[in-house]
Structure 1
Amino acid sequence: MPKETDYLKKLYPLALELQKIAPWNDIYERELFGIKVPGSEEPLFASVMGSTGEFLAVSFYEGVDAAHQFLRIQEDPVESDPMDVLLIPHLMVSFEQPQYMEPEDIDRLKALGYSVRKNSRLPVFKEVVPGCIHVLPETDKLAQLEPLIEQVINVASRVGRQEFAWIEHVPEGLNGLVRVPDGRAKSGWRDDNKKFELKPAPAIPPLSKKQVKPFNQLPRNNIVLQVGMVLVPSPIGDKHPPYFPFLLMLVEKESGYVLTPEMMTPHPNVKEMFAKSGERLIEFLTRQKVHPVEIEYRSARLQPVLEAAFKHTSVTLRKVQWMSAFDDAAESMINHMIGGR
């Protein structure tokens, strides 16, 4: 079985070829296209970053739902947090200066004979597990990166000479360009235009009347709360991969007062963390003896969670675009936790 080093020997030259082509000069970040790697159940979807010249990279979002989440962030940035991309499973090859690279990434390059110069940009391979710090992909994912990078080179080399139907949302789900293996084609691959149906997320069972009874027995407070989940950009390393803690924050809209935030972790996974957050919220409010008349939220991820948690209560849920009290409180809280000002 090939080892990590065997894959890296192939991937570094391929990544340097990609860097030379500079696809970020012609392709924008939201211009997704799919790549159906042999053996994978769903395509991975390539996104080229670097049109502004700041961060040069190509991400490969793993599957239709991951591509949908990414496009949703691009289409509605007001509703999304910049950190939301860390909640989407994806592989990445980035091109970074040595001062921003991890020591182990530099060691891998040097071990294979590459020079590491101060102002150079060198390839780094990453896997982003939702809610966790990036790590070097396991060998099965490294094996996928070879055809993925090859197909980005193929598409990038034809941009400007050929029009492409990039992946976009349609009523049924997603539709657009996918590179698929084809033994009859000279290159072994061909362009295809495919439609993908979005699978509905599993329904979150509502909390029972018995579970919310202690909350419902509290006297109602004439207050409106704003709720959200905040990623703390300070990873914790007691599990593998190291993960980012999350704060389930409640802020009083009028005063900006922060109720003590609940700390949550993305283990075993982010979806389960969000699914549990509704019950945690009810329990917290019950302990604090707070029964608001209304809760505002912005995140689409929280909508089904809140609806399930508060279905058998009198609390009004309201989806809003702007939560200034929450945003100010979250920024202050994060700066305090990571030593900012």
Structure 2
Amino acid sequence: MRKEASLEQWKELYELGIELKGLEPWKDFWDMDLIVICPKGRKEPFFCSVMGKGGSCYGISVYSGYEGLKDFEMLTATEITGISSEYAMFEQNNLTCYLGDRDEVPPQQKKVIKELGLSFRGRGQWMYFLSFKRRYMPYTPDEDEVEELIRVYKGLAAAVREYRENDIPVDYESGECFWYIYHEKEQCWKSEIHGLPDDAGTEYPIVELEDEILKKKLQKRPLIDGELQLDFIYLNGGVKESGYDRPINPLLFMAVDGDSGMVITVEMMGPEDDEIDISLNFLVQFIEQYGRIKTVKARNAWIFSALEDLCEYCGINLVSENMPELEEAVENMKGYFDKRP
């Protein structure tokens, strides 16, 4: 059950946010230069990414624990993995403070700003906070998330000052990061220089179809010419459903005929649905009905994880390449949804 933060909690958060804004940490850190904050009693640290050194999109994103770090790594590795940047963005779990224009501030936070008597003048000066959760639209943080940001920002503000005052020699280009850790025994904060864990990236295990009878049945199906293009697409439009405390961001599984550009299937996934299951089930059913298609194209790592073993077993080429037919189908579909009243 969602519980809203009190006005006093918002007051403390905005005070800390304004303090960090005044420190202008983007003058010292690029968005890839993570600041690692480990407060008192915390087993896993928070990973903070500061945006704005490039001169646009000022803000601070906070990723919780090593699972959060995996989300950050996925977002920054889209060119390597082939996952679309839009998909990676909406797969994030983080808490982000933005400096934007007045019309970008969620109505609920405009009300909080007014009740607190705060004033942000000028374009790009309005401070607001968003909670990102996988499969959901960005939303105003709840009470627990506001408290989490308060806890992080107290350490982050001190860390930025420590970094400047002591000219901490962190070599980010070689993989080092600035860690600011609360030590229980000494009961004080200490700045340290460490790298990130080597296994921080998201794991994509190869899935094997366990039903040996089904596998042999699929392997005997005729080989047919043609090409399937598969992907996961976020619609980036909120859908309110009972039982959820924030709007869902619909995720679609889409299959397109690479030769004709015809859409074969579009399946809307719920927040609990699994990418591997839907990918594997689709290809199994397709082979059963039509045969072993010659080529399957994809760019999402979850699809490769789900289909690599089956494609190899059935002699299907599974490749990562451009999918212009699918891209066109996606644009047409999004255009249709945008025009709906």
Contact persistence 1:247–1:262 (CA under 8 A): yes
SS in 2 for 1:13: helix
Task: List aligned pairs for 1:13-162, cutoff 5 A.
Answer: 13-77=15-79, 79-83=82-86, 84-115=88-119, 117=121, 119=123, 121-157=125-161, 158-159=163-164, 161-162=167-168
The whole-number CA distance in structure 2 between the counterparts of 1:3 and 1:27 is 30
The one-letter code matched in structure 2 to 1:82 is S
The whole-number CA distance in structure 2 between the counterparts of 1:211 and 1:116 is 63
The whole-number CA distance in structure 1 between the counterparts of 2:45 and 2:174 is 15
Contact persistence 2:206–2:308 (CA under 8 A): no
The one-letter code matched in structure 1 to 2:55 is G
Unaligned segments of structure 2, at least 5 residues: none
The whole-number CA distance in structure 2 between the counterparts of 1:115 and 1:262 is 45
Over aligned residues, Cα RMSD in angstroms? 3.2
The one-letter code matched in structure 2 to 1:245 is P
Distance apart, 1:97 and its partner CA? 1.8
Which deviations, in whole Å up to 9, do the C-alpha atoms of 1:55-94 show, x marking residues without a partner? 2211011222432342343244362322212202111111
The one-letter code matched in structure 2 to 1:274 is E
The whole-number CA distance in structure 1 between the counterparts of 2:313 and 2:125 is 56
Task: List aligned pairs for 1:140-219, cutoff 5 A.
Answer: 140-157=144-161, 158-159=163-164, 161-166=167-172, 176-182=177-183, 188-194=188-194, 195-198=196-199, 204-211=207-214, 218-219=221-222
The whole-number CA distance in structure 2 between the counterparts of 1:240 and 1:211 is 40
Structure 1 residues 313 and 107, CA gap change in structure 2 (3 angstroms): same
Distance apart, 1:311 and its partner CA? 5.9
The one-letter code matched in structure 2 to 1:64 is Y
SS in 2 for 1:317: strand
Aligned residue for 1:302? 303
The whole-number CA distance in structure 1 between the counterparts of 2:169 and 2:89 is 28
Residues paired across the two proteins, number = 329
The one-letter code matched in structure 2 to 1:233 is N
Structure ranking higher in helix proportion: 2
Contact persistence 1:234–1:338 (CA under 8 A): no
SS in 2 for 1:256: coil
Structure 1 residues 201 and 298, CA gap change in structure 2 (3 angstroms): closer
SS in 2 for 1:189: strand
Distance apart, 1:305 and its partner CA? 1.6
Contact persistence 1:215–1:282 (CA under 8 A): no
Distance apart, 1:211 and its partner CA? 4.7
Unaligned segments of structure 1, at least 5 residues: 170-174
Structure 1 residues 113 and 66, CA gap change in structure 2 (3 angstroms): same
SS in 1 for 2:248: coil
The reply to whether residue 316 of structure 1 matches residue 320 of structure 2 is no
The reply to whether residue 236 of structure 1 matches residue 236 of structure 2 is no
Structure 1 residues 247 and 210, CA gap change in structure 2 (3 angstroms): farther
Of all paired residues, the percent bearing the same amino acid is: 19
The one-letter code matched in structure 1 to 2:108 is E
Task: List aligned pairs for 1:255-274, cutoff 5 A.
Answer: 255-265=260-270, 267-268=271-272, 272-274=273-275
